[in-house]
């Protein structure tokens, strides 16, 4: 009974663990090019999109990276098309965290009032291009969880209209860079 309760309590971890374990077994039995050959390149694009869409948090993004690297290692993918397909899926998840932070501003104001007001004021005094550039560089050049950035920007009441293009472009750049580096390993 203890074991079942433990699994129920930590089901997210176990789902992630089982997915990664299944993926490792699948890739060790079948090479990536055979997997892509069986399911097709078009379906592979969709699978990568889905894993990016589902992996909306830093913790759940491991299946996305495993899928991306495995599929791209076949050399069958147009990296620009792949980047343009995956960027909106990742940005959607980031948007959810921005909304949580933005709405959480009112809840957190009671405990973090002075800090949030200071941060909101600090953000409002920055030119839009500075926030855009920071959001772009963070999402494009770091493998760090983007949910942290988005919650912080939401809590600081940053303009979503200014952040969304930076996040889309940053995600496209990041996916392209990772895919390109994987493809370089094939040469």
Q: Are 124 and 84 in contact (CB under 8 A)?
A: no
Residue 20 within any structural domain of the chain:
no
Output the six-digit token pair for 34. Answer: 């055979």
Average model confidence (pLDDT) for the chain? Answer: 81
pLDDT digits (tens, 9 = 90+) for 71-82: 888 888 899 999
Residue 125 burial (C-beta neighbours within 10 Å; 0-12, 13-18, 19+): exposed
Residue 54 within any structural domain of the chain:
yes
- Domain extent, residue 120, equals 31-184
pLDDT at 6 over 70: yes
Q: How many domains does the chain have?
A: 1
pLDDT digits (tens, 9 = 90+) for 12-53: 777 777 877 887 787 778 777 788 888 888 888 888 888 888
pLDDT at 112 over 70: no
Q: How far apart are the first and last CA of the chain?
A: 52
Residue 11 within any structural domain of the chain:
no
Residue 176 within any structural domain of the chain:
yes
Distance separating alpha carbons of residues 71 and 47, to the nearest angstrom? 10
Residue 15 within any structural domain of the chain:
no
Residue 80 within any structural domain of the chain:
yes
Does the model's pTM come out above 0.85? Answer: no
Residue 149 within any structural domain of the chain:
yes
Output the six-digit token pair for 104. Answer: 């959480």
158 φ/ψ sector (left φ>0, alpha ψ -120 to 50, else beta): beta
pLDDT at 138 over 70: yes
């Amino acid at each position: 009974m203890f074991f079942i309760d433990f699994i129920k309590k930590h089901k997210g971890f176990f789902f992630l663990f089982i997915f990664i374990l299944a993926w490792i077994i699948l890739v060790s039995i079948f090479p990536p090019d055979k997997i892509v050959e069986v399911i097709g390149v078009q379906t592979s694009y969709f699978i990568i999109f889905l894993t990016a869409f589902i992996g909306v948090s830093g913790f759940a993004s491991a299946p996305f990276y495993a899928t991306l690297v495995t599929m791209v290692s076949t050399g069958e993918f147009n990296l620009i098309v792949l980047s343009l397909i995956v960027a909106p899926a990742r940005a959607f998840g980031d948007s959810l965290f921005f909304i949580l932070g933005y709405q959480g501003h009112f809840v957190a104001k009671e405990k973090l009032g002075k800090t949030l007001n200071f941060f909101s004021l600090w953000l409002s005094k920055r030119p839009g291009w500075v926030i855009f550039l920071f959001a772009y560089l963070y999402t494009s050049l770091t493998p760090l969880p983007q949910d942290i950035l988005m919650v912080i920007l939401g809590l600081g009441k940053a303009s979503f209209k200014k952040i969304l293009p930076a996040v889309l472009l940053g995600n496209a750049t990041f996916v392209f860079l990772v895919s390109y580096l994987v493809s370089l390993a094939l040469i």
